[in-house]
Chain A
Amino acid sequence: MPSNYLDFEKPLVELEEKVNELKSFMEEKEIDLTEEIERLNKRAKVLQEEIFSNLEPWQILQIARHPERPTTLDYIELVCDEFIELHGDRQFSDDKALIGGIGRIGDVPVTIIGHQKGKTTKDNIERNFGMAHPEGYRKALRLMKQADKFNRPIIALINTPGAYPGVGAEERGQAEAIARNMMEMAGIKVPIIVVIIGEGGSGGALGIGVGDRVLMLEYTYYSVCSPEACAAILWKDAKEAETAAKALKITAKDLMELEIVDGIVSEPPGGAHKDYQLSAQLLRDEILKEINKLNELSPEELLKQRYNKFRKMGQIKEESEKILSEL
């Protein structure tokens, strides 16, 4: 059996195993089993659709964290016709957990920033598991301001468990870096497309998350805190993470309903890691569509709409006796 399958995929993997067995049996014994194989393949397809159309938030989170999931650089490679990575925040260092650069998608020049995870342990240690330091956020801001100067749309790809909790990060102002980015992103006069491509971990995600369109890939999550942390705090038991994942409303569908995100980008059957090419194609189409729409707005209109979008987020109860509203 392949090592990297998820619990709920087990019946599917077993079916695939069976197909493989039949195939080798067929070759060995020179018996024609094509019909049987065809039948099993069809069943697998139906089963996959069934499983993936009824995923629980916790299962979606596992796909979002899948070690083989395409990373920011994987998407850049497949989405862009050209890309040049640019490094450093000009103040302290170059953060490998949050990368950026300039590129071209068809005839559209873009600036892309995004959290970068690794796939192997070694790779992940180098990328700090996609957990950025302040210098990562400051590099992102530098590149966004550059994009603003040269009138290039910005694409921000989010994929982080959270901003890094460490001594150096605190010394260099992790909180300030994230806060500053959100504030400055409100004033950048070019279209900003934000896409959650894997994990949307809290403030670390939001630090590059203020944009005109916030999209989520189908099997990703975006959360105020990790379900594990939430469970540990509220239920005093990290094993309740599944319950927390549900309660926190972290899936693309939930966040569409709460009007936190603007759209969902489809993924190939079984998740983005099953077909990099198709995932990238779907993402590219969506990005180009949104950029084209946003390009029609004047900078003033763009900023106004961006402000209003975030301004109206939240749900409260306001008694009617209130008369002092300045809004």
Chain B
Amino acid sequence: MLKDFFGKSKYVTVERKSRPSRRSSEVEGSGKEGRKEMPDDLWTKCKECKEIIFNKKLAENLKVCPSCGKHFRLTATERISLLIDEGKFEEYDANLEAINPLDFPNYEEKVEKYQRKTGLKDAVITGIGDINGHTVSLAALDSRFLMGSMNSVVGEKLTRAIERAIDQELPLIIVAGGGGGARMYEGMLSLMQMAKTSVALKQLEQAGQLFISILTDPTYGGISASFASLGDINIAEPGAKIGFAGPRVIKQTINKDLPAGFQTAEFLLKYGMIDKVVKRSELKHTLGKILDIHQMGSMRGERDA
């Protein structure tokens, strides 16, 4: 049912180029906890307000709890459906895959497991698509895939998405969502993707292109400490957990309870780290408006160097 909803023409088909056939991606519930409490495919229990929600109703509401407004996590495919105009997405670099450069124990098995589970090759989908008629270079992370952690594949795909934005003079939108930070299994190669994406964003800046970063639940570690924090405009979804260090680590370090609402989107807004908290139902509209205004800037013509 959920599948039907996000698959519905109203919310867009994701076109893929040179992509081997694959299972239609499953729509996840609210994450582990939510799934556990699901009596069957018909219901989801909101872990925020404990309300029982019809999955059909939840999907219609863009996977936002109708009673308390909690934003459940979206898959990358769902995110693209949410943001991109119908039939206007072309995926790039879909065939990039992880290797096991460090011979890390059990890494291949882990990757294969998540490939089967998500239908994705790795934790990000990138491509070019239209948002309310504006063509953008888009990347969406998928927090289901090894916690949306960044490895060589994710870093490379993001960097290519940045380079496409530079080459084709497109605004760049990256939807971040990953609690795993830099992926341990690829060691320093993963850590260096933080540097790689960040130095590529410097080039985007020098090319004068717009970058909108959308931070969704969860955005931590190597994800938050690189591209996700570097938008010209940073937007987060309500209630999204965003931070550098995980709350458990902080709690252990300072040996104190953490303040209420710590590391939420609203917390970041209060401390000046993001521009806006935008509800999922308004996200596409907001992006469209920003892109409208941004495009007007070019009416002033070339600026003197």
Contact = CB atoms under 8 A, between A and B. Distances in A.
B265 to A, nearest CB: 13
B198 interface: yes
Nearest to B128: A324
Nearest to B223: A175
Given A186-B199, A206-B191, A322-B95, A170 B184 contact: no
Interface string A150-189: 0000000000000111110111111110111011111100
Question: Which of A166, A209, A314: most chain B Cβ within 10 A?
Answer: A314
Nearest to B107: A247
B268 to A, nearest CB: 8
Interface in A271-327: 306-307, 310-311, 313-319, 321-327
B249 A314 contact: no
Interface string B190-202: 1111111011111
A327 B162 CA distance: 11
Contacts, number: 210
A180 B188 contact: no
A260 interface: yes
Contacts of B184: 224-225, 230, 233-234, 248
Nearest to B249: A165
Given A183-B199, A260-B188, A167 B226 contact: no
B195 A248 contact: no
A174 B192 CA distance: 18
Given A167-B259, A324-B93, A179 B227 contact: yes
Interface stretch (B21-29, B75-83, B149-157): B149-157
Contacts of B206: 187
Contact of B225 (A203, A230, A316, A318): A203
Contacts of B159: 311
A202 B182 contact: yes
A1 B190 CA distance: 42
A209 B229 CA distance: 18
Contacts of B92: 324
B199 to A, nearest CB: 4
B229 A250 contact: no
A167 B258 contact: yes
B17 A324 contact: yes
B11 interface: no
Interface residues of B, number: 73
B148 interface: no
Given A315-B152, A318-B95, A327-B160, A247 B188 contact: no
Nearest to B155: A314
Interface in A10-28: none
Contacts of A169: 244-245
Contacts of B242: 175
B196 A183 contact: no
A259 to B, nearest CB: 9
A83 interface: no
Interface in A235-279: 247-250, 255, 258, 260
Question: Which of A172, A307, A313: most chain B Cβ within 10 A?
Answer: A313
A186 B198 contact: yes
B194 A318 contact: no
Interface in B154-210: 155-156, 159-160, 163-164, 167, 181-184, 186-196, 198-203, 205-206
A111 interface: no
Interface string B73-111: 000000000000000000011011111011011000000
B104 A247 contact: yes
A189 B33 CA distance: 50
Q: Which 7 A-B pairs have the closest CB atoms?
A: A165-B245, A314-B152, A186-B199, A182-B198, A175-B224, A186-B202, A174-B244
Given A202-B191, A203-B244, A311-B200, 17 more contacts: A176-B225, A176-B273, A179-B225, A183-B202, A184-B202, A186-B199, A203-B194, A206-B192, A210-B195, A222-B188, A247-B105, A255-B188, A307-B203, A313-B189, A315-B189, A324-B18, A326-B167
25 contacts: A170-B250, A173-B271, A175-B229, A179-B198, A179-B227, A180-B230, A183-B199, A183-B201, A184-B202, A202-B222, A203-B225, A206-B191, A210-B198, A210-B199, A223-B188, A223-B191, A247-B104, A258-B188, A258-B189, A260-B192, A313-B192, A313-B195, A316-B156, A325-B93, A326-B164
